[in-house]
Structure 1
Amino acid sequence: MNVVKSLVSDMPGVWRELTTLKQAFVVLKFVTDLTVCTVPPLTFAKSHMSIRTLVYVPLLAICYVVPDVAIFFALPKSADSTQTLIGLLLVVYSLLFFWWARFHMLSKSALTACFSADEPTFLITTGPWALVRNPFYSAYLATMLAGFIVTSSSNHPDHDHPYLVSHAGGIAMSAFLVSFAIFYHAIRDEEAKFSASKLRTQHEAYKRRVWCLLPLTDVMRR
């Protein structure tokens, strides 16, 4: 509890140390991470949820919250303007892609949570799905990658919270890798369900045409 009180009391001072660009990054990343942690559980269909869903969803929330605390306290001592700008662009991509996908599927049945034991009844190939097969997962990972980029040079243990500052990059990367592993297995699980469904032929053609997580289909002329 004392650690939490210390972190909270130090936040105004840390905020004042941030440049305007870094402050913009912090605010936008907070909004983005709050969005991806709260909107999906509230809007996705709860039917067919599995034990893995109940285990992995809270773990993913931790993978967002803990690195964000480390990133905030490390940011005054890490990331030049180029790193911050790249991180900011990734967060913007994450937020825009998430809401684009969310609004695009309003006319469809609600998507189920990851690792749900359901059979797919439709295949979305328009909107953000025309650029990347998994726009939600792409958005989730983009904001996490942004956190690592802005803390990858964090090695200044001269703060009141030296562990957070000197290990922020490692914390952010660890969270990214854990989340990537979970999302990778979720994607494999979902694609296996398509392969066993009546949509198999359509989905196989879609897989050959569109990339999994990177919206580079048109760029790479796949």
Structure 2
Amino acid sequence: MPKGMNMLSLLVLFSMLLMIGLTFYVQQPIIPQLVSLVMLIASALLFRATIRESSKAGLLAAFDEKLPGSLLMTGPYSVVRHPFYSSYLLLWSGWAIGTWSPWSLVPLTAIIITYWVAAKGEEQKFASTAMAEEYAQYKARTGRFIPRIFGRG
């Protein structure tokens, strides 16, 4: 398993323990709970669609040092370049909102940075493959984690 993936696993474990504690020991208003629930459902639906789309592609794990061997541009990949990470970010953001605690921003920030670093590294690897030009065009029309609505950004 790549070293970065080991670090990510530890971050996720720490974050889960903190979020579980906040969920059960901090009083949350109903509106953040409902927003959280919607985001968690959206995360699960996106995750499932991404699994369905990528099941035969042989994608690499986060922080893998190997160069990518395939490029997916269909299903959720048609609007975001990293739909797995998008689903994870939806989950963690929703959970942070649901806890209604400023302490949830600590792991959320660490997770956002970690997935951003992983995605950036994966995108740089595409520049070293025969798919570099195709990926550059794909990158110009899709968002990293959220759909691109207006031009570049």
1:82-101 to structure 2, matched below 5 A, reads 82-101=31-50
Q: How many residues align?
A: 151
Q: Which residue of 1 aligns with 2:4?
A: 52
Q: TM-score, normalised by structure 2?
A: 0.90
Give distance in 1, aligned partners of 2:64 and 2:56. Answer: 21
Q: Deviations over 1:36-69 (max 9, x none)?
A: xxxxxxxxxxxxx432222222222322232122
| 1:79 aligns to 2:65 (yes or no) | no
Q: Deviations over 1:153-180 (max 9, x none)?
A: xxxxxxxxxxxxxxxx133111100101
Q: Which residue of 2 aligns with 1:10?
A: none
Higher relative contact order (CA 8 A, sep 6+): 2
Give distance in 2, aligned partners of 1:150 and 1:125. Answer: 32
Q: Deviations over 1:81-113 (max 9, x none)?
A: x2222111110111111111011112222x222
| 1:103 aligns to 2:52 (yes or no) | yes
Give distance in 2, aligned partners of 1:190 and 1:116. Answer: 8
Please state how far the C-alpha of 1:129 moved relative to its aligned partner.
0.6
1:142-181 to structure 2, matched below 5 A, reads 142-152=90-100, 169-181=101-113
Consecutive unaligned residues in structure 1, runs of 5 or more: 1-48, 153-168
Identity within the alignment, %: 23
Q: Root-mean-square deviation (CA), in Å? A: 1.5
Structure exhibiting the larger radius of gyration computed from Cα positions: 1
| 1:139 aligns to 2:87 (yes or no) | yes
Give distance in 2, aligned partners of 1:177 and 1:199. Answer: 32
- 1:93–1:205 Cα change, 3 Å: same
AA aligned opposite 2:116:
Y
Q: Deviations over 1:124-168 (max 9, x none)?
A: 00001112111111111111111221233xxxxxxxxxxxxxxxx
Please state how far the C-alpha of 1:78 moved relative to its aligned partner.
1.7
Give distance in 1, aligned partners of 2:5 and 2:86. Answer: 19
8 A Cα contact 1:98 1:139, kept in partner = yes
Give distance in 1, aligned partners of 2:109 and 2:36. Answer: 17
Structure 1 segments of 4+ aligned residues over 4 angstroms from their partners: none
Consecutive unaligned residues in structure 2, runs of 5 or more: none
Give distance in 1, aligned partners of 2:83 and 2:138. Answer: 14
AA aligned opposite 2:64:
S
Q: TM-score, normalised by structure 1?
A: 0.64
Q: Which residue of 1 aligns with 2:128?
A: 196
SS of 1:212's partner is: coil
Q: Which residue of 2 aligns with 1:35?
A: none
8 A Cα contact 1:94 1:142, kept in partner = yes
Q: 2:60 aligns with which of 106, 112, 134?
A: 112
Please state how far the C-alpha of 1:221 moved relative to its aligned partner.
4.9
